[in-house]
Amino acid sequence: MVWRIILLLHLGYSGAELYLRGINESYTEQEERLLSLLLRLQQEEYYDTLMVYGEECPFHSLSRSLEVPAVMVPLGGTNYDWNFGSLTLILSCGFPAEREENHRTLMKLQLNRRIIHLQKDINVESVCNYYAKNEQYNIAVVREDFGRSGNIYVCRCFQKTKYIEVNLFSGRPIFFEQFRNMQGAAIKSLTDNLAPRSMAYRDPKTDQKKFKGYVANALNSFVEKVNATLAWQLDVAPPGKRIFFTNITKWTAEDLLDIGMSVDSTWDKWNLDTQTYPYLMCSYCFMVPLPDLLPYYEIYTYIVDLDVLAVIFVLFCIFSLLLIYGQQMSWQGLSLSRVLLNDRCFRGLLGQPFPFPLHSTKKLKLICFLLCFASLLTTTMYVAYLQAFLATPPPMPRLRSFKDLHNSRYTVAISLGEMDVLGFADNRRLQNVDPEKLEVFEDYVKFFHLRETFNNNYLFPVTDLRWSTYKEQQKIFASPVFYYTDAFCLSRFNFLSFPVRRHLPYRHLFEEHLQRLKEFGLLKHWQDRSFFDMVMLGLTPLEDFSPLPETDSIDLYDLSWIFGMYFAALGLCCCCFFVELWGSLNWWRRFKRWTTN
């Protein structure tokens, strides 16, 4: 049995050796070179999938020898979205074997490396032009004589010659990132010129129009990094009309621009093919005027608290009972009228002099002393409140919801463009906002002027990024005018991204650049300098827009409550006097009648 097992193992080993030798002998010289090329590419940049376009060619047999999954596409295209990883090497059997038309697949495989096997005498330059037209730049071409020559023709996009010749054994890299040096190539762009994101200025050295801001600086630094130039597509915009960020997003999606010098929100986007990695995060809430100071005529009622009045009334009743009992040392003659209309107790709590009881006992003196002490506390408290509030009146309560807005004097101001972005342009209504409290401005310049001049009759929607400049500007005012509230917002959490063309070949480099800007703190630095840049460019005047302070003098109207209470009390006294007089006249008539009888 042991000898049989040994014999079977020997036969199996011999058979496997003959099989492998047969495979190696079956490879031609060209296939061996191609296999070396594929192994070298895997060492330079690892790939985990092979995708072979076209009919039978050496790539099909080589794919079986590599320990990498292979996808065969003999028809040159797929009818499904490519859901594999991005580490895919594309092999084409002939030109043009790859005829992919699926939009999603083209986007996902746009930057992948491609090797084209030319079976006929086809010009390499025409191959490079074809793939450059499709914005696919990582292209290498091998001919049928690759087995003998070992030459690889690699396409180049920023050189006069469309391709270079690289030998397999020369050690030179076959593929490299071509867009790290674009050699002055143009990047088509357009700006919305919305401060402080992008602000135009004239360079004093070159006399050229340039832009700065935390959005403009990001694109400018990327252009400088990849050695490119900005080409302004002014012919895209309608003449004489203001350009909004929504227009730039639309034109970029239509492939009229490469990268827009603006940012747009992604909250209403279901397809992010034309949006970069989020560059900014912000909230979209309201800047609300600080509440007005309490009017003088309301101070007299504001300092009167019902709970305190209830306590004073209870003290009045207690002192009145004590005075009645202290004088007679009994409860005889106790009545409701004597308790509620106790003259001594009433004048004592008001801090006025009252007749001291004659032949008063120690207990009665103590009661009067407590009454005087209570009057001192109450009058001092109210006088202190009154003088403090008259000197610096307290502000009215702040708005905390849209319901509070309905009972206030303010109106929500919003531009028609922002209504369109929010999706309310058709009915011109915001959720939870009374239509009577909403004013939509079709003229953006007028809306912008109201907000820039801090018109405190309106509430303005604004991002927290823009609010930081308004907050900094109010530091030069005599008093702040607006505050930023997150109590009621239109959107609390927004991602802002750059609009980019759908098949932008250097999109990954731009997104990497944006992440590095945030990582090294340049974005935060540019945002902190926004207000100072606006001042330097003359976009923000150093002017005090705070309202003029009201006069500190008290008008006759401010004493309306005092005079009203005074005349009401005077009228009550007159009524009481006439009642007493009427009673005395009746008594006098009865007395005369009695005397005559």
Verify that 301 and 353 share a domain, yes or no: yes
Candidate ranges 130-144, 210-224, 580-594; pick with highest mean pLDDT: 210-224
Verify that 34 and 111 share a domain, yes or no: yes
Kindly report the backbone phi and psi dihedral angles of residue 425, in degrees, each rounded to the nearest multiple of 5, phi listed first: -70, -25
Would you say residue 451 lies in a domain? Answer: no
The average pLDDT across 216-242 equals: 90
Last residue of a domain, one of 391, 411, 433: 391
**pLDDT tens, 148-157?**
888 889 998 8
Verify that 88 and 197 share a domain, yes or no: no
7 band by pLDDT with thresholds 50, 70 and 90: very low
Would you say residue 485 lies in a domain? Answer: no
Distance CA 538, CA 576 (A): 72
**pLDDT tens, 76-105?**
887 777 776 678 899 998 888 888 887 788
Distance CA 568, CA 392 (A): 29
Would you say residue 510 lies in a domain? Answer: yes
Verify that 151 and 243 share a domain, yes or no: no
Q: What is the CATH number of the domain that holds 121?
A: 3.40.50
Based on the structure, what is the number of domains in the chain? 4
**pLDDT tens, 545-567?**
888 766 667 777 777 777 888 88
Would you say residue 429 lies in a domain? Answer: no
Would you say residue 407 lies in a domain? Answer: no
* pLDDT surpassing 80 at residue 250: yes
Last residue of a domain, one of 176, 206, 227: 176
Distance CA 38, CA 140 (A): 12
Check residue 409 and report its DSSP letter. S
Name the residue type at position 5: I
Q: What is the pLDDT of residue 256?
A: 93
Verify that 212 and 353 share a domain, yes or no: no
Last residue of a domain, one of 148, 176, 204: 176
Q: What is the pTM of this model?
A: 0.77
Roughly what angle, to the nearest 10 degrees, separates helices 306-328 and 362-391? 160
Number of neighbours of residue 101 by Cβ within 10 angstroms: 10
Residue in 132, 148, 119 with CA at minimum distance from that of residue 59: 119
Verify that 158 and 275 share a domain, yes or no: no
Would you say residue 414 lies in a domain? Answer: no
Which domain range does residue 374 map to? 296-391
Q: What is the pLDDT of residue 556?
A: 72
**pLDDT tens, 176-225?**
888 898 888 999 999 988 989 999 998 888 888 899 999 999 999 999 99
Distance CA 280, CA 265 (A): 9
Q: What is the CATH number of the domain that holds 248?
A: 3.40.190.10
Q: Are 364 and 321 in contact (CB under 8 A)?
A: no
* pLDDT surpassing 80 at residue 327: no
Would you say residue 116 lies in a domain? Answer: yes
Rounded to the nearest integer, the mean pLDDT of the chain is 83
Verify that 92 and 137 share a domain, yes or no: yes
Verify that 533 and 586 share a domain, yes or no: no
Verify that 318 and 342 share a domain, yes or no: yes
Verify that 33 and 167 share a domain, yes or no: yes
Beta bridge partners of 460: 287
Verify that 339 and 376 share a domain, yes or no: yes
Would you say residue 79 lies in a domain? Answer: yes
Verify that 532 and 562 share a domain, yes or no: no
